[in-house]
Amino acid sequence: MLFRYRGSEGMLAWAFHRISGVAIWAFILLHVLDIWLANVNYKLYNDLLSLYGSPGGRVLETALGAAVLYHALNGVRIIVMDFWPAMTRYHKQLWYANWVLFTVVGLVFAIQIMAPAFGLQAPFSFGG
């Protein structure tokens, strides 16, 4: 029924929240594994980090950034409605506002992460 019921924005917002939550959880598992490698096999750890820096790794990193950003923004949307139930009347508008913020902030992150994959200078330098 979950896939057959035609929910509207609220159901999509919830489904994306769950999917992004699971994606973030999967990354945290991977992250625990790679940090563990730093202690037990630093060479393999370095190899893994260079994989993260490859074009394919950067695409996955951008997807992770998108999942974290969506999950955070929708989390704030839910908190707003929890504290002010009358805001539920504007839940669709809040969701669209989330997408505007997601696009603006997400683009900056995506460019920062993906620029080196195209041989370009990343806009922000962190001393690397």
Partner 1 sequence: MQIELRILRFDPERDQKPHEESYKVEASPMDRVLDLLHKVKYEQDGTLTFRRSCAHGVCGSDAMLINGRNRLACKIRVDQLKGKRITVAPLPGLPVTKDLVVDMDSFFAKFRSVQPYLQPGDPDPERERRQAAEDRAKFDDTTKCILCAACTTSCPSFWAQPSYVGPAAIVNAHRFIFDSRDDAAEARLEILADSDGVWRCRTIFNCTDACPRGIHITQAILEVSSKIVEHHA
Q: Is 29 in the site for partner 1 (CB under 8 A)?
A: no
Among 85, 123, 127, 128, binds partner 1 (CB under 8 A): 85
Does the protein bind partner 1 through residue 81 (CB under 8 A)? yes
Residue 11 identity (one-letter amino acid)? M
45 binding partner 1? (CB under 8 A): no
| Per-residue burial over 99-118, b = 16 or more CB atoms within 10 Å of its CB, e = otherwise | eeebeeebeeebebbbeeee
Taking Cα atoms as reference points, which of 23, 55, 48, 22 lies closest to residue 34?
A: 48
Residues 105 and 69 sit within 8 Å (Cβ to Cβ): yes
Q: Per rule CB under 8 A, is residue 72 in the interface with partner 1?
A: no
Contacting partner 1 (CB under 8 A), which of 28, 51, 56, 82? 82
Point out which residues bind partner 1 (CB under 8 A): 1-2, 4-11, 14, 78, 81-82, 85-86, 88-89, 91
